[in-house]
Amino acid sequence: MITGFHHTGVVVHDLPAMTAFYQDVIGLELLGEIDSVAPPEGNHTGIPNARRKLVFLGIAGDHQIELVHYLDPPAAPGGTGSHQLNAMHICF
């Protein structure tokens, strides 16, 4: 049974600019930053050993926006893969 939404994630190219947009224009609070390396089997990304920087913004205790910036391999425009620019996901 779904009891709520945790976050919506989007793959971005310019992490500092998107972080500034959500903070300065939208008014969301920076909730956390994570340097992430996917495990060899590619869990969560479908890309083994993918290196990412994750930024979480939102209102404490409410739904969050997760900005995902792929460092290696870098995200590319187009396509439907989980690491393509503008790819999105919802986490319940």
pLDDT tens digits for range 72-82? 888 878 777 77
Question: Using one digit for the tens of pLDDT, what is the confidence trace for 25-75?
Answer: 999 999 999 998 877 666 677 788 888 999 999 998 899 999 999 998 888
Structure tokens at 23: 């903070």
- Give yes or no for a contact between 52 and 67, defined as CB atoms under 8 angstroms apart: no
pTM listed for this prediction = 0.85
Q: What is the torsional sign of CA 30, 89, 49, 68?
A: negative
Place domain 7-77 in its CATH homologous superfamily. Answer: 2,3-Dihydroxybiphenyl 1,2-Dioxygenase, domain 1 (3.10.180.10)
Spatial distance between the Cα atoms of 61 and 71, rounded to a whole number of angstroms: 29
Tally of CB atoms within 10 A around 23: 14
